[in-house]
Amino acid sequence: MTRIGIIGSAGRMGNALQAAVAAAGHEFAGGIDKGGDPLALAQSSDVLVDFSAPGALEFNLDAAIHTGVPIVIGTTGLEERHHWLIDSAAVSIPVLQTGNTSLGVTLLSHLVREAASRLGEDWDIEIVETHHRMKVDAPSGTALLLGEAAAKGRGVHLADEAVRGRDGITGARKAGTIGFAALRGGSVAGDHSVHFLADNERLTFSHLAENRGIFAKGAIRAAEWIIGKAPGRYTMPEVLGL
Ligand SMILES: NC(=O)C1=CN([C@@H]2O[C@H](COP(=O)(O)OP(=O)(O)OC[C@H]3O[C@@H](n4cnc5c(N)ncnc54)[C@H](OP(=O)(O)O)[C@@H]3O)[C@@H](O)[C@H]2O)C=CC1
Ligand SMILES: O=C(O)C1=N[C@H](C(=O)O)C[C@H](O)C1
């Protein structure tokens, strides 16, 4: 039986994760929220699962490094400096970070990369996401993950091409850019659409999450998978064999 420690355990995802831990027959090693001690949690866990807040990341990684415990990070709203911290932690422990742990989005990112690699720059790419009214970050981690997939398919860097929201006299759309738009409201668990728009034809890939169980299930699968792996930074496609 695997002991799974949850960071952000009282949150929306924390609750879904506790249910998924029980459903998978694992042991809930304990959970922490703001003000909790990640080191004590890591000491009693075989693996940590972090769905909390970007401000917690450094302490959570330190606890995982100190104890040698692998960590799955689902927290979004991460900035470049957070990714440096993850890269540096991955030198000594196994780390998996993703903006979306669901099977559907993991497969979708492959499809988007493939489409972007085959469709030329005359196909504009726009990513639209909708989330519940309590979500604090935008664009969503998933939208950014899908944007990265599109950029990889095109052989460009997302940071050079991303247009994150438009307002006012923006001018005509610049060829090759990848646009993002975010809607917030209600209780939507997470909807994402990647639009490829050309003259006279459009192709849209969509993923609709009906509840948080899909993220929790994927996160527990990642937690099971990462135990015993060599230090390194891993991805959801590796977990799901895609
Ligand atoms: N990768 C994926 O597949 C998914 C990722 N997410 C991401 O997961 C994160 C959590 O989402 P959600 O559960 O909806 O958010 P909630 O706000 O419901 O929960 C966040 C939890 O994290 C806790 N927390 C905040 N700061 C810290 C800290 N410094 N140390 C430990 N715990 C802390 C909060 O505690 P307190 O209330 O005490 O502040 C709260 O219990 C978000 O970044 C979200 O985008 C969500 C769904 C899927
Ligand atoms: O905050 C959420 O709820 C979600 N966050 C993740 C994201 O930012 O993409 C994943 C999912 O869409 C739900």
What six digits make up the tokens of 206? 């969509």
Kind of pairing, strands 27-32 and 3-7?
Answer: parallel
Other C-beta atoms closer than 10 Å to the C-beta of 239 total 22
What six digits make up the tokens of 186? 């209600």
Average pLDDT for 8-12: 98
Average pLDDT for 193-222: 98
**Catalytic (active site) residue 131:** yes
Q: Is 98 in the pocket of ligand 2 (CB under 6 A)?
A: no
- Confirm or deny that 10 is annotated as ligand binding: yes
On average, the pLDDT of the chain sits at 98
Q: Which atom of ligand 1 is found nearest the CA of 56?
A: 29
Q: Which residues contact 59 (CB under 8 A, 6 or more apart)?
A: 38
Instruction: Beginning with the edge strand found earlier in the chain, give each strand of the sheet holding 3-7 in spatial order.
Output: 27-32, 3-7, 47-50, 71-73, 94-97, 232-234
User: What domains are there in the chain, each with its CATH number?
Assistant: 3-97+212-239 (3.40.50.720), 103-209 (3.30.360.10)
Q: Is 77 in the pocket of ligand 2 (CB under 6 A)?
A: no
Helix 12-23 and helix 213-226: axis angle, to 10°? 60
pLDDT in tens, 108-122: 999 999 999 999 999
Q: Is 141 in the pocket of ligand 2 (CB under 6 A)?
A: yes
In angstroms, the Cα distances linking 40 to 59, 66, 77, 99, 219 are 12, 11, 25, 26, 21
- Residue pair 206/6 in contact by the 8 Å Cβ criterion: no
The residue behind tokens 């799955």 is: 72
- Which of 26, 82, 135, 207 is flagged as catalytic? 135
Q: Is 99 in the pocket of ligand 1 (CB under 6 A)?
A: yes
- Confirm or deny that 165 is annotated as ligand binding: no
User: pLDDT value at position 147?
Assistant: 98
Percentage of residues of the chain with pLDDT beyond 90: 98
pLDDT in tens, 59-91: 999 999 999 999 999 999 999 999 999 999 999
- Confirm or deny that 142 is annotated as ligand binding: yes
Q: Which atom of ligand 1 is found nearest the CA of 33?
A: 32
Q: Is 142 in the pocket of ligand 2 (CB under 6 A)?
A: yes
**What is the C-alpha to C-alpha distance for residues 146 and 232, in angstroms, rounded to an integer?**
22
What burial class does residue 205 get, using C-beta atoms within 10 Å of its C-beta: 0-12 exposed, 13-18 middle, 19+ buried? middle
Q: 1 falls in which pLDDT band (50, 70, 90)?
A: confident
Of 55, 59, 79, 81, which Cα lies nearest the Cα of 71?
A: 59
- Which of 82, 131, 192, 207 is flagged as catalytic? 131
Residue among 164, 215, 217 to mutate when testing ligand 2 (max atoms within 8 A of CB): 215
ipTM associated with this complex:
0.99
pLDDT in tens, 142-178: 999 999 999 999 999 999 999 998 999 999 999 999 9
Sign of CA dihedral 144, 12, 215, 58: positive
